[in-house]
Each structure stands twice: as structure tokens, then as C-alpha cells.
């Protein structure tokens, strides 16, 4: 992937953004960062490959585990490291020892949870930290935690984005959606059906085939209802559904139907565009971007 030119970087001014919904620029930045930091080594040099995550890691994430155990262990380590650094700075050996003991305990759990990463964890440094904390040598504690921190950053640079993509991004292949016959279809088919319904509305209204346009609009509502029913697979509370398929979306669809019934091609096109922003762009901005990057890696 070539580097961005000065012209490329200046596209933010005076050019209509790719995403019609404002505030989507950060998604492009995330996608570009992930692709250039993780995927491009394979493109740039065939001798390099993407690092593989150990299979044992899956047991510490949902859905295999009821809790995100590995993730919360990382949170605990980060909190404990901060406490150690703060109490070293405050010259409090007692509390530095307390948090060092917790830190070392969690650090030693990592190779037990993911044996393939035994060589990645600096257990010798953990032992040095433990001994320094017990002796009250705050200078030695500071040096030990600094060395361990460098090791943490190195591991995160290589694996953290991959773990997020694999274990914390959506996998829609596992989520079924009901079809017309009472059976099930996959998300790919549902997205294709939605796209065809939207385009059919646009085509038919432009050609003044109003009956077909109204039928396509009714079909769109059916498909969106089925999409909404599947959201509960991940979202257990109403707000995510309300943001994308709630009252604002229903209002726009009502306006679309009214414009089609009155045979107002220009207004129906406007309402269809609003629906694309409120429903399609909002959903894709969160879900499709992550899913597409995930599909490149797994």
C-alpha cells in the first residue's frame, strides 16, 4: 500500500466525504491504521506473515467463556502497574509491595492461560520485582516494572489489534435471520436483499412505476424488521436498536411511503437518501467496518 501523497492528505477540505453521515472520519483512520499496521506487511513483503494468536486464547474470551477473562486480566495488570509506579513516586514501600504482589500474581497467570506465550512473558523480571518489593527497594522496583512495561508494549504492538479483531469484533456468520418461509438465512443474504429492495425503490420511482416502488418499500420494512429482531443476539438493551432502527428511522420510512404514494420522485429520492444515512450508514459505520477487517484476518 503506497504512502499517502500530499494531495491525498488534503482531501478533507473541499471534497464530499465518502460517508454521508458526519463524524465517520475516525472510522477511516482506524481502518487505515489497522490495514497498514497489520495487513500491509504481507502485501509489502511476501516473506512476512501475520502473527498468529494462540488457539488457547479463545477459552478466555466470549462466547467460549462467560466472561472476558483475558481482557479483564489485562485491565488488572494495567491498574496494578499504575499503582506500583505511583507508590514508588510517593516513596511508599508498603503499598508498592501490596500492588506488586497482585501484579506478579496476574502476570504469572498469563503463561498458564496461554502456554504458547510462555516465552513472551518475562517471568524473571516478575521475580526481580517481587524480591525488590519485599525488600522495600523502591529503586529496584521502579527498574523492574519499567522493564516489564517495555515487554508489555512489545507484545501489545504485535498482538493486541489481532486479539480485538478476533475476539471482540462482530462475526455475523453465526447470527441467523428469519426468511419468508419461516426458515433462516444468513446475514450476507439479508444484506443483499436489503440492497436490492433499496435500489428497486430508486429505479421504480425514477421510471414512475409507482406500484412496484411501493411494493419494494413494503419489502424494505419487512427486511428491516427481521434485521432488528436479530440485534438481540448481541445487544441486550434497547438503545443500540433505537439509534439505528428506532423512531427516527420509522419517521423517515413513513415519509418515503408518503412520497411514493403521492408519486413525488424527487422527494422519495430525498427520503431514501435520509434512510440510507440514518439506517445503513450508522449500522455499517460500526459493524461493517470491523467485520470487513476481521474477514481479512480470519
In CATH terms, 55-168 corresponds, of 2.30.170, 1.20.120, 3.30.420, 1.50.10, to 1.20.120
Longest dimension (CA), the chain: 85
3-state helix, strand, coil in the chain (%, to 5): 75, 0, 20
pLDDT tens string 111-166: 999 999 988 888 999 999 999 999 999 999 999 999 999 999 999 998 998 898 88
pLDDT tens string 220-265: 999 999 999 888 888 888 888 888 899 999 999 999 999 999 999 9
Note the pLDDT of residue 233.
81
For the chain, the structural domain boundaries read 6-36, 55-168, 172-297
Q: Which residue has the cell 420511482?
A: 205
Note the pLDDT of residue 50.
65
CATH level 3 topology of 172-297? 1.20.120
Q: Which helix (H) or strand (E) holds 89?
A: helix 69-89
Per CATH, 55-168 and 172-297 having the same topology is answered yes
Distance, in Å, from the CA atom of 198 to the CA atom of 244, rounded to the nearest integer, reads 16
pLDDT tens string 95-105: 999 999 999 99
Of 189, 176, 174, the closest CA to residue 291 belongs to 174
On whether the pTM is more than 0.85, the answer is no
> In the numeric block, which cell numbers belong to residue 109?
497467570
Using 50, 70 and 90 to split pLDDT, how confident is the model at 27? Answer: very low
Q: By the 8 A CB rule, do 281 and 20 touch?
A: yes
Amino acid at each position: 500500500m503506497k504512502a499517502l501523497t500530499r494531495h491525498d492528505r488534503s482531501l478533507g477540505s473541499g471534497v464530499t466525504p465518502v460517508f454521508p453521515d458526519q463524524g465517520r472520519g475516525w472510522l477511516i483512520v482506524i481502518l487505515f491504521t489497522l490495514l497498514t499496521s497489520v495487513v500491509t506487511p504481507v502485501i509489502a513483503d511476501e516473506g512476512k506473515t501475520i502473527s498468529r494468536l494462540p488457539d488457547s486464547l479463545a477459552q478466555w474470551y466470549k462466547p467460549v467463556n462467560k466472561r472476558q477473562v483475558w481482557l479483564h486480566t489485562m485491565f488488572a495488570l494495567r491498574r496494578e502497574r499504575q499503582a506500583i509506579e505511583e507508590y514508588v513516586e510517593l516513596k511508599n514501600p508498603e503499598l508498592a509491595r501490596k500492588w506488586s504482589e497482585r501484579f506478579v500474581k496476574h502476570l504469572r497467570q498469563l503463561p498458564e492461560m496461554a502456554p504458547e506465550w510462555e516465552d513472551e512473558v518475562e517471568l524473571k523480571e516478575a521475580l526481580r520485582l517481587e524480591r525488590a518489593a519485599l525488600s522495600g527497594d523502591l529503586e529496584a522496583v521502579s527498574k523492574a516494572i519499567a522493564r516489564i512495561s517495555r515487554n508489555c508494549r512489545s507484545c501489545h504492538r504485535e498482538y493486541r489489534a489481532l486479539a480485538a479483531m478476533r475476539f471482540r469484533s462482530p462475526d455475523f456468520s453465526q447470527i441467523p435471520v428469519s426468511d419468508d418461509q419461516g426458515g433462516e438465512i444468513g446475514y450476507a443474504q439479508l444484506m443483499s436483499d436489503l440492497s436490492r429492495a433499496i435500489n428497486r425503490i430508486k429505479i421504480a420511482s425514477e421510471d414512475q412505476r409507482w406500484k412496484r416502488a411501493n411494493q419494494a418499500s413494503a419489502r424494505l420494512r419487512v427486511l428491516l424488521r427481521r434485521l432488528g429482531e436479530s440485534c438481540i443476539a448481541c445487544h441486550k438493551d434497547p438503545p443500540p436498536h433505537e439509534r439505528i432502527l428506532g423512531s427516527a428511522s420509522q419517521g423517515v420510512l413513513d415519509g418515503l411511503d408518503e412520497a411514493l404514494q403521492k408519486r413525488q420522485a424527487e422527494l422519495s429520492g430525498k427520503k431514501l437518501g435520509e434512510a440510507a444515512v440514518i439506517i445503513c450508514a450508522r449500522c455499517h459505520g460500526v459493524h461493517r467496518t470491523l467485520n470487513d477487517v476481521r474477514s481479512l484476518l480470519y
